[in-house]
Structure 1
């Protein structure tokens, strides 16, 4: 039997084995063809409550196990991602509309996330601190208990496993709510990998569902930390709800990232980087290059090169053809993209390339004559759209780059890297890439944005993961009970 044989998970959720969900089931669709390729269980509040109770019980035993055992299971999970990469890649292509290289990055990263998490299990869990009293005083890091993870459709595997793996390694139980549109590649695959790796039952639950399922997860008293990746609008609701229930919420939200192309940048390389940043995975990435800020002296040749790349990129079904862009995830998202492009043209933007679609296949689009109020420039499009605006000098470039509520990623292209670094110092951003486009992530690096892009670096890297998925406890010890005046 293959790892993802549908007979295992058909119309079911993973919660102490594969069981029918109280919320019923739903079709798994491939956006490229509209074909049903399976059925998943859909969890509701009753499923969440049952999973939370079971997870809280299982977590105590899991946290008490030797760190060597937890690390071994995470390492085995990493190996299993590598062994089953081809099968998982196939689901990412069909279910998420990924081109095969992007799917391969997801499975490779999933393995690396598990290997890095395995190393977390043996990290120092505290430190000794001085005390004014004759006693031993220390700080300890303890598992939070049950962690709720809510993940999106665009990079369904990476954006789930980057929280699931470190949370497990640090002794927590996890309830994962993947987006139901990509629940196999972003949920079932994770449950099956950890089953095969030997994770004890009850420690990980995978419950696909909608907003009501997410709300039940955020509000359940046994779930102490929420790790959420999604839109800024949804993230605000999650943050407000978590605050009312006095629990931490780590929020990785949207972006409208700027790529600044300085006047001394290599134009061919800059256009290539800009095309990759805007069109990779149909622009459905939080770090997508949403705004191209180009020095006025090179504006027209940059537009010419970027438009030519957009015109020549093949778009189609990545399961049957070698293409650069696959389908948009669904009609609602496609229609949002097209509405922003149409509104931008109506407001004076010039269409250099693209702007058309067939079914869910949207052509990579380049817009010129853009102003700061052009809809596709001012808003996060989450589609393959590259709005280009010019700047006169560095001060104007900085002003344009900072004129946004978001602060996720920033790219600066130019030959003088020290000048680029000086520009970066003036622009609030959780991530900065000099001489690279805006899309980039590694398991060893902290990830997160500022402003409307989230609550800072809450994912990736040992320090961020320990901070995200443990509690800090002050502990003192002394040899005898101290004498008090009362």
Structure 2
């Protein structure tokens, strides 16, 4: 490893690397090998206070900086990312258990996100509206919200943190990042290094690594940030939403999913099987958009199970650093035990293990369950692991009803040879995103990303991110003087 990767054991506050002042520590482990990667002295509430104050001051400097200078810094940011490509990918593999396939996808998506965000610099526009009052006009300005608190996740740590940080900075804000403890480098400290090396003003990007029990609530309820961006579980997101609402803060919440693929009776089964395997087992299913339920019309159920099983048996599980590996380790053994319990409970209710994968520490080989019904734990809960439940539907109407019988609504897919009919089916699925003849794991920097129901609030990406990370101000301009009835 080069110098960039050697010592991520400090906090990044106001452009300086310093020890955290909490008495506690946070230890990071490689989920595949169990090797300890680093130990960080955790951040305290005093560190949090300093980070937010630094961000508040830096935001004023950033807002006044010339457009040309900001563009140069974003160009430099892209260059730094490209220079550190292999280092970032290596950290994703070691810290989050990402396979090389997934890590490369994540890195490229992050670069695209930065490039799209750089365009925001010239896409923030206002309006001039007429007035009913004579000789008056209304000017509508769009400006930065100020300081944004970003809570990074552990599953797609680099990209999902970048998805908030880059747009927030490009729209004139500063940020304080609280990374997930399991991925303190890839969802946090790497951002300090990269923005520092790119030459952004000190304090514009701050990273504090702290325990949720010590600084979690304070991170959200602190008076300085005007918005909190969080990607993670619905349970935690609901708590963040409650805290933010109590303190009248805006939120962007991208939460859990129970995503479906509907395989209709006219689907190309071979193509559907390959797409389902990718959408289910990429990053071991630890993706909010991953397929959670595969709902197949009974007319093609057996054929699909056969083709899908054939594809899944060909997926290599093992060391994520091996280029041939598609299924790597889960983030920790707690997740393994939780998933195994849900499988056991579902089998007790009648599910059948069609393909049984072995488990060694955090590495679970793919599992396929058939005879699954929608009321089983493996279908009701977000799996976040390499288990594929297949539900047999009586017909298309039944498949749609099963798909909507969930409190979640993030992503999904419909497979059919009739694309236009597929769109009509997709319209009936209560979800924020859905794809025809593709799988559910899709995210492009210029397309609105977000869910319905328990899957979150707000939309990321493109013009929707501009709207989310800015606010509007009405300035009324009276030309001459107005006559009043007094």
State the TM-score, normalized to the length of structure 2: 0.96
2:244 to 242, 246, 250: 242
Say if 1:456 and 1:53 are closer, same or farther in 2 by CA, change over 3 A.
closer
The answer on 1:149 being equivalent to 2:150 is: yes
Task: State how far apart, in whole Å, the 2-side matches of 1:71 and 1:188 are.
Answer: 23
What is the CA–CA distance in structure 2 between the aligned matches of 1:49 and 1:14, rounded to whole Å? 10
Between Structure 1 and Structure 2, how many residues are aligned?
A: 483
Alpha-carbon distance in structure 1 between the residues aligned to 2:211 and 2:276: 34
Please report how far the alpha carbon of residue 14 of structure 1 lies from its aligned counterpart in structure 2 after TM superposition. 4.3
Deviations 1:180-222 (A, max 9, x none): 1111122121111111111000111011223232311110001
Assess if the C-alpha contact under 8 Å between 1:191 and 1:204 holds in 2. yes
Match in the other structure for 1:470: 470
- Superposition map of 1:422-437 within 5 A: 422-437=424-439
Alignment match, 1:19 = 18
Asked if structure 2 preserves the Cα contact closer than 8 Å seen for 1:13 and 1:42, the reply is: no
CA deviation map 1:64-117 (0-9, x unaligned): 111222222122212211121111100101111011121111111111111111
Q: Tell me if structure 2 keeps the 8 A contact 1:280–1:325.
A: yes
Structure 1 ranges of 4+ moved more than 4 A: none
Cα contact 1:3–1:84 (8 A) shared by 2: no
Backbone CA RMSD of aligned residues: 1.5
CA distance in structure 2 between the partners assigned to 1:166 and 1:41 by the alignment: 29
The 1:155–1:69 alpha-carbon spacing in structure 2 relative to 1, beyond 3 Å, is: same
Map 1:304-323 onto structure 2 (within 5 A). Answer: 304-320=306-322, 322-323=324-325
Aligned residue in 1 for 2:418: 416
Q: Distance in 1 between matches of 2:338 and 2:142?
A: 44
How far apart, in 2, do the equivalents of 1:218 and 1:412 lie?
38
Q: Which runs of 5+ in 2 are unaligned?
A: none
How much has 1:317 moved relative to structure 2? 1.5
CA contact (8 A) 1:75 1:114 kept: no
CA contact (8 A) 2:101 2:326 kept: no
Alpha-carbon distance, 1:481 to partner: 4.3
**Residue aligning to 1:178:** 179
The 2-side partners of 1:215 and 1:10 are apart by 23
Residue correspondence of structure 1 range 287-436 to structure 2 within 5 A: 287-320=289-322, 322-436=324-438
Map of 2:98 onto structure 1:
98
Secondary structure at the aligned position of 2:353 is classed as: strand
Aligned to 2:268: 266
Separation in structure 2 between the aligned mates of residue 14 and residue 381 of structure 1, nearest angstrom: 36
DSSP 3-state at the match of 2:223? coil
2: CA distance, partners of 1:34 / 1:248? 39
Distance in structure 2 (CA, Å) of the matches to 1:284 and 1:403: 22
Mean alpha-carbon deviation: is it higher for 47-56 or for 278-287? 47-56
Q: Which aligned pairs between 1:15-164 and structure 2 lie closer than 5 A?
A: 15-23=14-22, 24-133=24-133, 134-164=135-165
2:157 partner SS: coil
Residue 411 of structure 1: SS of its match in structure 2?
strand
Q: Quick one: structure 1 residues 14 and 180, their matched pair in 2 at CA, closer, same or farther if it must change by over 3 Å?
A: farther
Change (3 A) 1:321 1:105: closer
Match of 2:266, SS state, is coil
In structure 2, what is the Cα distance between the partners aligned to 1:321 and 1:165? 29
Paired with 2:92 and 2:38, the residues of 1 have a C-alpha distance of 14
Deviations 1:132-163 (A, max 9, x none): 12222111111111000111100000100011
Question: C-alpha separation between the residues in 2 aligned to 1:425 and 1:49?
Answer: 46
In structure 2, what is the equivalent of residue 440 of structure 1? 442
Q: Residues 126 and 140 of structure 2 are in contact (CA less than 8 Å); yes or no, is this contact kept in structure 1?
A: yes
Contact 1:32-1:326 at 8 Å conserved across structures: yes
Q: Work out the CA distance in 2 between the residues paired with 1:100 and 1:194.
A: 24
- Partners of 1:400 and 1:452 lie apart in 2 by 17
SS at match of 2:434: strand
CA distance in 2, matches of 1:139, 1:170: 16
